[in-house]
Amino acid sequence: MSSKNQLNYLYDQEADVLYISKGKPSAKDVSDEIDDGVVARLDPKTKEIRGLTIISFAARTKSKTTAVKLPFEISFHPTN
């Protein structure tokens, strides 16, 4: 799988922030808050979502009434 299509995530427990990234982040990407505490990182030319930052991630998941909907679809393929 090429690194361009690889989905990476990092959870910062101290800050309670989940970072999700498709491929390597680029300094040219632009950010847009798409929901309260959810920031999308976009390719400035194509407007494709290249990453998400979800603030207060653990706090959101503790509530059974709150769903965190991601604004993209994921296709899973074997890497072998």
- Structural domain for 11, as ranges: 7-62
| Residue 21 covered by a domain | yes
Question: What stretch of H or E contains 51?
Answer: strand 49-55
pLDDT of 65 > 80? The answer is: no
**Overall domain count for the chain:** 1
| Residue 16 covered by a domain | yes
pLDDT of 77 > 70? The answer is: no
Measure the CA–CA gap between 78 and 26, rounded to whole angstroms. Answer: 26
AA identity, residue 39: V
More confident: 48 or 75: 48
Contact assessment for residue 41 and residue 20, using Cβ atoms and an 8 Å cutoff: no
| Residue 70 covered by a domain | no
| Residue 71 covered by a domain | no
| Residue 57 covered by a domain | yes
Measure the CA–CA gap between 79 and 59, rounded to whole angstroms. Answer: 32
pLDDT of 5 > 80? The answer is: no
pLDDT of 66 > 60? The answer is: no
| Residue 69 covered by a domain | no
